[in-house]
Chains A and B, each alone.
Chain A
Amino acid sequence: MALLDLISPEIIRVPLESKSKEAVIRELLQVLIEAGKLKDFDAAYEALLAREAKGSTGLEDGIAVPHAKTDRVDSLTLAIGIAPEGIDFRALDGKPSYLFFLMLAPPDQSGPHIEALSEIARLTQSKSFCKMLRRAENAEEVADLLTEEE
């Protein structure tokens, strides 16, 4: 499964309403619940917090990639959130985070999980593209920017 196949407006929240790290994670998990992609909110939340406790997934340049393995999803699951005002995600550079890519994967699908994370890493290397994402006004626009179909 390619990252592209995981992207649809239903798994994207623009703008995020949350103002804190934990609230962002909860809001994105709620997006997945509403999209029918996640059944056990609490187990996924605990798995993500356990990962964050080892070190923040808030990277440099306003990008955060919270991720965890959990057997409470059947397949690779992605939620995307944009916070135009920025949120303190305790990022490595101490700056606010604007783009959030939350990923959950079943423990036995490490290959697709790693490849999808790697695609996110490649995608977010472009600062101009990240700026365009930050300026997006709704979920459809984010999905269009990410997929840019031929």
Chain B
Amino acid sequence: MQGPIRNIVVYIDGSEEAISAAQYAIALAKSTGARLYALYVINTRALNDLVKARIFLDTEEDEYHRDLEADADRYLRHVSKLAARKGLEIESLKRSGTVHQEIKKCVEEFDADLLIIGELSRIRSRRDEFYNESERAMRLVPCSVLVVKDEERVWDIYDALPE
């Protein structure tokens, strides 16, 4: 019988929290049999905003864009290896644009039942400017969202998975 979770999207942004999220997603995909998609979004919206705000020079925008491309490849490769080490094949998705909107598009495109993201800030600010992309995505997507916490516990869960 097919369980309630068939397709999982885990969002990877290059942070330690996102790697923990990926490890938990791998454990969950293995135990449920769900298909796992790892998504990295190159934040071209923020790059454009930083050029408009004149925080970035045009040359800096190009440089950071190349860095983000390289980061995307490196982190997606890392997550694929983490999954392969535990005998799980995953699909890597690299997108560009406004992060929370791209996350929503992928959730819809792959009919995800669950979005998994890394731990959010422990401080709950009243300032809207501090809603980061993960929080915006959490509010926007139509599916359930799992926020992964406790890095050490997650590591133990991942480590205990059969290879």
Contact = CB atoms under 8 A, between A and B. Distances in A.
A144 B121 CA distance: 16
A112 B15 contact: yes
Interface stretch (A13-21, A41-49, A54-62): A54-62
A136 to B, nearest CB: 15
Interface stretch (B23-31, B80-88, B125-133, B150-158): B125-133
Interface in B28-57: 40, 43, 46-47, 49-50, 53-57
A22 interface: no
A54 B57 contact: yes
Nearest to B42: A111
Interface in A102-136: 107-115, 117-123
Given A4-B130, A117-B55, A111 B13 contact: yes
Contact of B49 (A1, A75, A118): A118
B125 A114 contact: no
Contact of A150 (B14, B50, B56, B126): B126
B125 A115 contact: no
B4 to A, nearest CB: 30
B59 interface: yes
B68 A110 contact: yes
Interface of A: 1-5, 54-55, 57, 59-60, 65, 67, 69, 75, 92, 107-115, 117-123, 146-150
Interface string B99-121: 10000000000000000000011
Contacts of A5: 121-123
B20 to A, nearest CB: 12
B138 to A, nearest CB: 13
Nearest to A111: B14
Interface in B61-92: 64, 67-68, 71, 74
Contacts of B55: 57, 59, 65, 67, 117, 120-121
B68 A114 contact: yes
Contacts of B59: 54
Contact of A114 (B17, B50, B57, B120): B50
A145 to B, nearest CB: 9
A4 B57 contact: no
A2 B57 contact: no
A75 B15 CA distance: 9
A54 B56 CA distance: 10
B133 A115 contact: yes
B53 A121 contact: yes
10 contacts: A2-B121, A108-B74, A110-B68, A117-B56, A118-B43, A118-B49, A122-B49, A147-B127, A148-B127, A149-B126
